[in-house]
Amino acid sequence: MRRKLVAGNWKMNGLSTDLAELDAIAAAAKVTQCDVAIAVPATLILLAAKRVVDSPVMIGAQDVHSAEKGAHTGCLSAAMLNDVNASFTLVGHSERRADQGETSADVKAKAEAARDLLSVILCIGETLAERDAGRAEEIVTTQLEASLPKGAAANWLSVAYEPVWAIGTGRTPTVADVTAMHGAIRAKLRGLIGGEADAVRLLYGGSVTAENAAALLSAGDVDGALVGGASLTAAKFVPIIEAAAAA
Ligand code: PGA
């Protein structure tokens, strides 16, 4: 039985004054049967981790560099993130693939660099044009294979399926579409890493809200959610945690 994971992604949002939102999230995490994680901006990791220290909430980063250290101005290594008490990182978010031109090979290298120090949530997903062309499953499973780190295992890796057209748009795939895609991802993973694939958590992401969380989290092979906009306040995020625990 895979325990549900609800992960927030604050993206480029949040100042130290916003950390007060974490108090109610931490309180909810203590009493629900569901893992809770939040990828905050790097500037807030240390403060956020201190704020939730007495709760099971995991604080993480939104990206990591693939090198251990060196001449990479503005970038952060896994050791640096670990040093400020991050316990996980996202890799391969579609906004980074688009805005920073990250390739699946880059994403794979980042996950491999992180694995000894941080858990990893690997993001994959198709664009609207790719879905309209009937190529969504092919694109997503190809991206998964190319991004999947060596030694992928459920104790440090989760996969988030995030259709690019559903992120921040208020649009979501149908439950049937999510079930079909997660089934295809699970099948591909089995081909790549065998039986271990059945323990890897597959998250759905893209316009998850308190209103649609119960339905999306009931889709086949959905083990949690990756939540952007609705993770910014406890009022919106806590009901998603509760929906996941009930799913
Ligand atoms: P959204 O973002 O929930 O705001 O659509 C999800 C994500 O990008 O992880």
Count CA atoms closer than 13 A to 88's CA, side-chain side: 24
In this model, does residue 1 exceed pLDDT 90? no
Helices (H), the chain: 21-31, 45-51, 78-83, 94-99, 104-114, 128-132, 136-147, 175-193, 213-217, 234-246
CA 173 to ligand 1 center in whole angstroms: 13
Measured CA to CA, the distance from residue 5 to residue 1 in angstroms comes to 12
Looking at residue 4, its pLDDT comes to 97
Per cent of the chain over pLDDT 90 is 100
The conformation of residue 121, written as its DSSP 8-state character, comes to: E
pLDDT band, very low/low/confident/very high, at 34 (cuts 50, 70, 90):
very high
Is 102 labeled as catalytic in the residue annotation? Answer: no
Q: Which of 216, 217, 227 to mutate to test the pocket of ligand 1 (most atoms within 8 A of CB)?
A: 227
Looking at residue 62, its pLDDT comes to 98
Whole-prediction pTM: 0.98
Q: Which amino acid is at 201?
A: R
Residue 73 phi, psi (nearest 5): -55, 130
Residues in the chain: 247
Measured CA to CA, the distance from residue 41 to residue 11 in angstroms comes to 6
Is 182 labeled as catalytic in the residue annotation? Answer: no
**Average pLDDT estimate for 30-50:** 97
In this model, does residue 230 exceed pLDDT 90? yes
State if residue 208 touches ligand 1 by the CB under 6 angstroms criterion. Answer: yes
State if residue 170 touches ligand 1 by the CB under 6 angstroms criterion. Answer: no
Distance of CA 32 to the CA centre of its chain: 19
Please, which residues have CB within 8 angstroms of residue 189's CB and are 6 or more apart in sequence? 144, 148, 152, 159, 197, 200
In this model, does residue 113 exceed pLDDT 90? yes
For atom 7 of ligand 1, the residue with the nearest CA is: 228
Which is the closest atom of ligand 1 to the Cα of 226? 9
Cβ count near 210 (within 10 Å): 17
pLDDT in tens, 56-108: 999 999 999 999 999 999 999 999 999 999 999 999 999 999 999 999 999 99
CA 71 to ligand 1 center in whole angstroms: 31
For atom 2 of ligand 1, the residue with the nearest CA is: 228
What the block records as the tokens of 164 is 């690019």
CA 114 to ligand 1 center in whole angstroms: 22
State if residue 229 touches ligand 1 by the CB under 6 angstroms criterion. Answer: yes
Looking at residue 177, its pLDDT comes to 97
**Mean of pLDDT over the chain:** 97
**Average pLDDT estimate for 103-120:** 98
**Average pLDDT estimate for 137-159:** 98
pLDDT in tens, 5-28: 999 999 999 999 999 999 999 999
